[in-house]
Amino acid sequence: MSTTPDGAPAPAPREMAGLIDHTALKPDTDEATVRRVVSEAREHGFAAVCVNPRWVPLVVAELTGSTVKTCTVVGFPLGASTTASKVAETQEAVAAGAQEIDMVVDIADALAGDSAAVETQIRVLADAAHAGGAILKVILETALLSEDAKELVCRASEAAGADFVKTSTGFAGGGATVEDIALMHRLVGGRLGIKASGGVRSYADAVAMVSAGATRIGASSSLDIVGADETTSAPGAADDY
């Protein structure tokens, strides 16, 4: 039997729903798709619906009376926006009702080893999110980072007051891996949440991530994850966001 790092059994398929951010982040996502995703999230009790910023007001309205949270992305998917523009995105999203913000770290600063710059930007965004009652998840984009850079971002995220670290956008040619989740858990597990995102398509994938230390799953294949317990795929592919 698979277990989480604290020795608890891995959640059963239906129980996994409470860990999933049901996502619709593709460029061609339309209103009908967003409404369908929201309906699925309400039906199955997913943790959140994660959409691009333009859809936040619609998702907030559609989730009224539900325990499902509204999540959106900032500086997405490249992370190369200025801090000021990321703050503005965060403030606008929170004002519209977003309860969770997934921001992409400045990848160039992370690769350059500039921990002060990384930490400063994360802190400003964490403050902006928390001021509106939202939480902040920091997307590392692990496929593009060295081991040292991954560690730098995890430690900076904790020091800056972020609430989660997250593996991937799903747009950079790689997604969540068991090895990266285990690394992130070793660095910040038990203090920050850890979100596995990118290529998590099946219940088996989700179990592997949770067993390595993930406390949240980002997926567009959420129905497959909660609907079967014997499907398998290769963790790390990046067709799901």
Beta strands (DSSP E) in the chain are 20-24, 48-51, 69-74, 100-104, 135-139, 164-166, 193-197, 216-219
74-99 pLDDT per residue, tens? 999 999 999 999 999 999 999 999 99
Q: What value, to the nearest 5°, has the Cα angle with vertex 180 and ends 177 and 182?
A: 110
pTM as predicted? 0.93
- Annotated catalytic, 166? yes
Closest of 61, 23, 54, 56 to residue 40, by C-alpha: 23
163-179 pLDDT per residue, tens? 999 999 999 988 999 99
Q: Which of 106, 166, 205, 240 is catalytic?
A: 166
Q: Which of 69, 86, 102, 109 is catalytic?
A: 102
| 240 pLDDT above the threshold of 60 | no
| 5 pLDDT above the threshold of 50 | yes
- Give the C-alpha separation, 116 to 152, whole Å: 10
- Give the C-alpha separation, 114 to 60, whole Å: 36
- Annotated catalytic, 137? no
Burial class from Cβ neighbours inside 10 Å (0-12, 13-18, 19+) for residue 45 reads middle
Q: What is the mean pLDDT of the chain?
A: 94
Q: Which of 86, 106, 195, 205 is catalytic?
A: 195
Find the mean pLDDT for residues 46-70: 98
Find the mean pLDDT for residues 14-29: 96
pLDDT of residue 233: 38
112-164 pLDDT per residue, tens? 999 999 999 999 999 999 999 999 999 999 999 999 999 999 999 999 999 99
pLDDT of residue 241: 59
Which superfamily does 15-227 belong to? Aldolase class I (3.20.20.70)
* 3-class state of residue 78 by DSSP: coil
Find the mean pLDDT for residues 206-223: 97
